[in-house]
Amino acid sequence: MTTINAKNAAGTRLVRKFADRLLAQCNDKGEHPWVMERWAYVPGMQLMAIARAGQQLEVPEYIAFMKRHMDAFVGEDGRIRTYRLEEYNLDQINQGKNLFTLYRATGENHYAEAAHLLAAQLISQPRTSEGGFWHKKVYPFQMWLDGLYMASPFLAEYGKTFDRPDLIDEAMHQLLLIERRTRDPRTGLLYHGWDESKEQEWADSSTGLSSHFWSRAMGWYAMAAVDVLDHVPVAHRQRGTLIGIFQRMIGALVKVQDADSGLWHQVLDQGGRKGNYSEASGSCMFVYAMAKGLRLGYLENNFEEPMRRGYEGILQHLITEDEQGIHLNSICHGAGLSIDRNGSYDYYISEAVVSDTPMGVAPLMLAVLEAEGVS
């Protein structure tokens, strides 16, 4: 694919503005208040994004930001502050992806010990009858697309780093299983969640599936698939299958891409329906996955045009700048599936829409670094 000189690109200046704002919000110890609150998937993703920006743009302060905040959680014995294995919560795995970067850079054993602790959770994670990870202990027999991003890339990189090919196999199994269970044959899109027990109020009584295709849920899966492939050997028997699934899924996403803006809606296949809107986090995740898939040859060249339309749509329609600085708008604050979150269309469009939260900013930074052709 055609690439742009990242160090001179407007998009890369955008990444630096968001990263510099994070640094500016730190206290006199260099600590950011919300990153320090607890070990969690959202700050973990933001730390990964700023560290990747530091590596690719050669800004050591960004990498130091990630290390400083990870060190505030990971003890010298490898224990992790605020983390409890017994919660069996896939969301708590995501921040652990930063451990591999630190372990490779320093060789310090406590990072490896922390990774072993998180891997121990996944090895003993409660499962469906087909071996699919429950999203959390408190969500029995439920698989959510969100959890695939939280756990599978970590597990695959752990398997590669510590010579556990069985865990790479496990990461692949999770991705293939949930795609088979949640894919709609008519649209090719993936439903947000699946309840094997078919007991939840949001689950269809015959299929166990939730009702709609939520943008960010599919964004999590798209990023999970393309990131797991970084760690899967070329000769792995299911590597080609995952690449094929990834391309088929991206093809389905292109079909629901908005023709005018190039963006994707909060509820993917309901673009013209009242209350639906162009959603930032999912759009950024799709652009990231598409750009990376193009760079690594998982996608054919005909996907470059929709990727570029999505990228330009983000820059033109979702980014604003004023006297307070730069902003990313139209981010769904959060969505899930539970008794009071029933997965209906009205539910998804009723969640708060916000600006500048890391749930959108982190995917934006990753998407820009990929779309600008950074290698």
Active site residues: 146
DSSP-assigned beta bridge partners for residue 320:
327
Q: What is the DSSP letter of 132?
A: P
Give the E-state strand segments of 145-297 in sequence order. Answer: 193-195
Structure-token pair, residue 259: 């023709």
Q: Length of the chain in residues, anyone?
A: 375
Distance, in Å, from the CA atom of 14 to the CA atom of 29, rounded to the nearest integer, reads 26
- Residue 194 β-bridge partners: 143, 209
Is 80 in a helix, a strand, or coil? strand
Residue 256's identity, in one-letter code, is: V
The first and second tokens of residue 42, run together, are 């959202």
Three-state SS at 279: coil
User: Are 355 and 364 contacting, i.e. CB atoms less than 8 angstroms apart?
Assistant: no
Non-local (6+) Cβ contacts of 142 within 8 A are 134, 135, 136, 193, 194, 195, 196, 200, 337
71 contacts: CB under 8 Å, gap ≥ 6:
none
Query: 332, 318 in Cβ contact below 8 A?
Result: no
The neighbouring-strand residues paired with 338 are: 341
Please tell me the number of Cα atoms within 13 Å of 40 on its side-chain side: 9
The DSSP line for 156-188 is: HHHHHHTT-HHHHHHHHHHHHHHHHHHB-TTT-
Q: What are phi and psi of 237, to 5 degrees?
A: -65, -20
Residue type (1 letter), 169? D
Lookup result for tokens 């320090």:
36
